[in-house]
A and B are shown apart, each in its own frame.
Chain A
Amino acid sequence: MLTNTNKKLAPVVLAIVMVSLVAPRAQAIPPDPDNAALLYYQGFLSLAELDDDARDLLGDVARGKVDPNDRVREYLDQCQGGIEFAEAAAEVPNCHWGFRFSQGFDALMPQLGQARALTFVLMADARVRAADGDYRGALERCLMTETFSRHIGDDTLISYLVSIAVKAMGYRCMDDVVGQAVDDAPLLEWLKRELSTGSGYEVSPVRPLKFEREIALDTLRMEKIDHFITITNEMDEDVQAKIKARTSEEELALGRRLYSERAILALEILAADGSYEETFTQLERLSEDLDPNAPGEWAAGLLMPAIGRIYNLKTRSVSDARAIRIGVEICLQRAKTGQLPKALPAGSPKDPFSGKEFAYERTDGGFVLRCRAKEMKTERLHEYAFAVK
């Protein structure tokens, strides 16, 4: 009876059945977040509420000042939920914290304190793993800080500074673990590959400096002067009143011009990629000769970031990254030949402070890599000790 019609309708009916059966099931389990920040926020909420002593102990273990003990293991067990969220976040390429640029300098960044706490937990966990002989697991945790650092990002200069600090902690832990795993050539080869495989994006002070210039120019306006004085943390009402009385639109216009010129100069100096000493000296000069008694200059000076110091941290981060690469190469030679090399491996990257090769010294306990020039202003000479067991 319905032969021909059935033939025509059969595919339609089949399609209806397929769609009605398959589509609801495909939608039954929605995908995980494609924004790492959402996972980190959950991780922060899942960290154990630790008292000051517990937090200090975790911090000391994370920095390698104290060996892991049972209490630390217990704290880490309590933080396992947070660690798992961080592991999941490390697999997600994109990370947007939802920073409210519209709020200008008044915008809140509560995630940064939490990010530091999570870093301590991750690094304490790495130290525990290393203490248990799980060097691969420990190094994987250290490498997580590279991703975490990139995820913390450079939306603002403060985010950038925290990002650099997180990465530095990971490098310090790696320096310690690599020396313990000196006989494991395959592991060192793996680490060498991991370190040479960049994520494709390096956090930089350039991006936030551009954003903050726009925010500063928007802030230095008469209609926002009350708010500006409030957010400068000046609590004395008399001082606030004096600042307000002496400030005029002309003064703020001068402040805007000074700030803008110096921010642009800072960007040019950073882009020029000169020597460390030359760059630092030029950047430091940008914060000088602003009269704190002239309201416009005072305001510009207040908003001008300590760009010289920020550049110091950037250079230190480059130095840390290069030192660990060289350290791994030296340990690899030790694993292959049974002896530490007499000189730095050929083609080793340079110390960014001096532009020369790192100083290399074999010691009783292992070896040390040392920068050949001090960090300016702090007068610190950076060195990296690798204890080889």
Chain B
Amino acid sequence: MNERKDEKWLDEQLQRAINTTRPGFDADAWKQRHPEAYEALISRKQQASGPGTKPSRRVRLMVGALAVAAVIFIGVAIFLMQMPPGEPQGPEVAIAPKAPSAARIVSMMSLRMAYHQGGEEALSQQLDAALKKLGPRPSKLSALQVLSDLEG
């Protein structure tokens, strides 16, 4: 049971007890009975809407809350901008069984064996052979060429 229902129940009980309708506020009658009070009330309302008047506590709270919300919003936005983009969730690719690779020529074991058997000379020769086989990549390929190749 909530508060509003309580109030309704109380009104009904009062009405039943005193046998009358719900009490109401007759503004016209009150204005006629208390003209000075009415004038004072009107003038206060006009002052309150004029310049240089303090805002109500509710207004101040709302402005403060807005400022805090703005700070939080900007903070979150900056944080999100700094975050690296997430890994795209692509379809799972089946891994093919390992085949002997040309890159094996530069495995630690292969290079060690070369040094073991022929010293620095053999090691240098194997590294040079690897360079011929594996790289370097062509430097003349511009970003534009790469894009046009990709676009077919």
List chain A positions with a Cβ less than 8 A from chain B.
1-5, 9, 12-13, 15-16, 19-20, 23-24, 27, 44-49, 52, 78, 81-82, 104-110, 112-114, 116-117, 156-158, 161-162, 165, 231-233, 305-306, 309, 313
Contact = CB atoms under 8 A, between A and B. Distances in A.
Contacts of B104: 108
B116 A4 contact: no
A48 B74 CA distance: 47
Contacts of A231: 107, 109-110
B115 A116 contact: no
B70 A156 contact: no
13 contacts: A1-B51, A5-B60, A5-B63, A19-B71, A19-B75, A48-B139, A49-B137, A49-B140, A107-B107, A108-B107, A116-B124, A117-B136, A162-B123
Contacts of A110: 103, 106, 130, 134-135
Interface residues of B, number: 44
Contacts of B113: 232-233
B136 A105 contact: no
Interface in B26-78: 51-55, 60, 63-64, 67, 70-71, 74-75, 78
B82 interface: yes
Contacts of B108: 104-109, 156, 158
Given A1-B55, A113-B130, A233 B137 contact: no
A219 to B, nearest CB: 9
Contact of A161 (B60, B74, B103, B120): B120
A116 B123 CA distance: 11
The 9 closest A-B pairs by CB, nearest first: A105-B109, A113-B131, A113-B127, A113-B130, A231-B109, A158-B111, A47-B136, A49-B138, A12-B67
B71 A2 contact: no
B119 to A, nearest CB: 6
Contacts of B150: none
A2 B103 CA distance: 74
B132 interface: yes
A136 to B, nearest CB: 28
B139 A5 contact: no
Interface of B: 51-55, 60, 63-64, 67, 70-71, 74-75, 78, 81-82, 103-104, 106-113, 115-116, 119-120, 123-124, 127-128, 130-132, 134-140
A5 B106 contact: no
Given A1-B52, A3-B52, A49 B139 contact: yes
A9 B64 contact: yes
Contacts of A305: 112, 116
B71 A15 contact: yes
A290 to B, nearest CB: 13
Contacts of A309: 115, 119
A9 B107 contact: no
Nearest to A104: B108
A306 B115 contact: yes
Contacts of B132: 52
A3 B53 CA distance: 9
Given A2-B55, A9-B63, A24-B81, A109 B120 contact: no
B127 to A, nearest CB: 4
Contacts of B70: 16
B115 A16 contact: no
Contact of B109 (A2, A13, A165, A232): A232
A187 B104 CA distance: 46
Contacts of B135: 44, 110, 113-114
Contacts of A107: 107-108
A388 B82 CA distance: 58
A316 to B, nearest CB: 10
Nearest to A47: B136
B135 to A, nearest CB: 6
B136 A313 contact: no
Contacts of A306: 115-116, 119
B56 to A, nearest CB: 11
Nearest to A81: B139
A113 B106 contact: yes
B124 to A, nearest CB: 7
Given A23-B74, A49-B140, A112-B111, 15 more contacts: A1-B55, A12-B67, A13-B67, A16-B70, A27-B82, A49-B138, A78-B139, A105-B107, A108-B103, A110-B130, A114-B131, A158-B115, A165-B124, A305-B112, A313-B120
